[in-house]
């Protein structure tokens, strides 16, 4: 343990906000309680949701605690700790504790995320490249496995070929054939490059031609847009007239609809009046028939007529058509009496009944 390491450790712990004051004299002798407390605090500072038990009463608990902390730091922070030095809990443990405190102290002094700029586009491209490489590695591995399986047979052929004496003439012939094939491939590649250059020149010429055509078309379009059509004035006048005609049409259509509604209401009213008059006439006829039957059965027609005349029934007969029908006869007076009693042959009823029956009286 050096004095500088101990000083740096105490300063870093103070900067990280450790609640307890750590003195340089604490690690001259083994102090496992302090080391366990510092380790547990550092773990909580790194991962607040960690569940490392803090029980260090027995030797087995201490060993389990040191192993748990070392495993946590190795998996989460990628920091390798020496468990033996940590278990000693003296100056040698300070160097192991510095590994964790230096990481936390450096993270605290880092200025946010300004130094790091992530390019998601490049990351996605890298991911695609990694997937492609993984598939290629798999296929290459399968091919390599097949080739290694043939190594036993190929080893014998290779040994036999190496053991045979080399013929200079045959080797020279093979080399010349290989050189000629390579030269042919080079010539083909040059021809393809020349063709590519020629195609590029042709494409550039076509592009320039299309650009000129586009410019001419744009100029023509601007010219056509600036010129007013020959029949535009007449078109606008006809459009105004059409708008007026449409307004007139709407007004007349509304008036026609309103008049049709009034006509329907009038017809409905006339129909109701006609039905009412017909019902009234039917009611009077039924009443007259009932009274005639009653008088015929009772046999006192003349007596009833006399009593009716004494009550002033003759006064209502001035407008009754029954006067002309019966005359002075008994049957005429009898019919006259019943018409007047029903009240139908008053002036207004006589007019309504004539209208309902087409101008004919009873």
Q: 189 versus 354: which is more confidently predicted? A: 189
What's residue 350's pLDDT?
41
What's residue 345's pLDDT?
42
What's residue 117's pLDDT?
58
Q: Calculate mean pLDDT across residues 47-64.
A: 86
What's residue 6's pLDDT?
83
Residues 6+ apart with CB under 8 A from 344: 280, 281, 284, 350, 353
Q: Calculate mean pLDDT across residues 192-219.
A: 91
Rounded to 10°, the helix 91-109/32-46 angle is 20
**Which residue, 212, 10, 192, 152, is CA-closest to 94?**
10
State how far the Cα of 187 lies from the Cα of 181, in Å rounded to an integer: 10
Based on its alpha-carbon atoms, the radius of gyration of the chain, rounded to whole angstroms, reads 63
What's residue 353's pLDDT?
44
The tokens for 16 are 């990280």
Q: What is the dihedral of CA 51, 52, 55, 59, to 10 degrees?
A: 150
pLDDT over threshold 60, residue 134: yes
What's residue 205's pLDDT?
92
pLDDT over threshold 50, residue 327: no
Confidence of residue 349 (pLDDT cuts 50, 70, 90): very low
Q: 356 versus 42: which is more confidently predicted? A: 42
The tokens for 268 are 């409905």
Neighbours of 291 (CB within 10 A): 15
Give per-residue pLDDT as tens, 79-92: 888 889 888 888 88
What's residue 122's pLDDT?
66
State how far the Cα of 333 lies from the Cα of 317, in Å rounded to an integer: 10
Q: 331 versus 211: which is more confidently predicted? A: 211
The tokens for 267 are 């017809």
**Which residue, 55, 8, 62, is CA-closest to 30?**
62
Segment of 198-202, 297-301, 324-328 carrying the highest mean pLDDT:
198-202
Query: Of 167-181, 216-230, 256-270, 308-322, which gets the smallest average pLDDT?
Result: 308-322
State how far the Cα of 10 lies from the Cα of 94, in Å rounded to an integer: 10
**83 three-state secondary structure:** helix
Q: Calculate mean pLDDT across residues 340-359.
A: 43
Q: Is residue 187 left, alpha or beta, with left meaning phi > 0 and alpha meaning psi from -120 to 50?
A: alpha
Give per-residue pLDDT as tens, 214-245: 999 999 998 888 887 778 888 899 999 999 99
What's residue 243's pLDDT?
95
């Amino acid at each position: 343990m050096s004095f500088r390491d101990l000083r740096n450790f105490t300063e870093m712990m103070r900067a990280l906000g450790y609640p307890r004051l750590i003195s340089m004299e604490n690690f001259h002798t083994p102090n496992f309680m302090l080391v366990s407390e510092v380790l547990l605090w550092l773990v909580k500072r790194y991962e607040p949701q960690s569940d490392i038990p803090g029980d260090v009463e027995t030797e087995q608990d201490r060993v389990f605690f040191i192993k748990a902390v070392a495993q946590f730091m190795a998996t989460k922070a990628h920091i390798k700790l020496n468990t033996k030095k940590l278990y000693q809990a003296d100056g040698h443990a300070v160097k192991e504790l510095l590994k964790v405190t230096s990481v936390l102290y450096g993270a605290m002094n880092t200025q946010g995320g300004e130094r790091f700029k992530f390019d998601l586009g490049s990351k996605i491209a890298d991911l695609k490249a990694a997937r492609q490489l993984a598939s290629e590695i798999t296929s290459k591995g399968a091919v390599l496995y097949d080739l290694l399986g043939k190594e036993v047979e190929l080893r014998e052929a290779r040994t036999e070929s190496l053991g045979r004496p080399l013929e200079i003439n045959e080797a020279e012939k093979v080399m010349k054939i290989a050189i000629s094939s390579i030269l042919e491939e080079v010539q083909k590649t040059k021809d393809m490059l020349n063709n590519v250059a020629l195609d590029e020149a042709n494409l550039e010429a076509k592009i320039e031609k299309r650009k000129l055509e586009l410019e001419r078309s744009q100029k023509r379009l601007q010219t056509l847009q600036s010129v007013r059509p020959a029949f535009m004035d007449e078109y606008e006048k006809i459009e105004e007239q059409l708008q007026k005609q449409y307004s007139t049409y709407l007004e007349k259509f509304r008036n026609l609809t309103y008049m049709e509604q009034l006509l329907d209401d009038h017809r409905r009213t006339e129909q109701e009046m006609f039905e009412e008059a017909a019902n009234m006439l039917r009611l009077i006829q039924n009443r007259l028939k009932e009274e005639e039957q009653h008088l015929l059965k009772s046999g006192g027609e003349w007596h009833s007529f006399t009593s009716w005349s004494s009550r002033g029934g003759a006064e209502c007969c001035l407008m009754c058509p029954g006067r002309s029908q019966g005359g002075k006869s008994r049957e005429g007076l009898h019919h006259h009496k019943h018409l007047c009693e029903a009240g139908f042959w008053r002036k207004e009823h006589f007019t309504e009944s004539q209208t309902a029956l087409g101008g004919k009286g009873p």
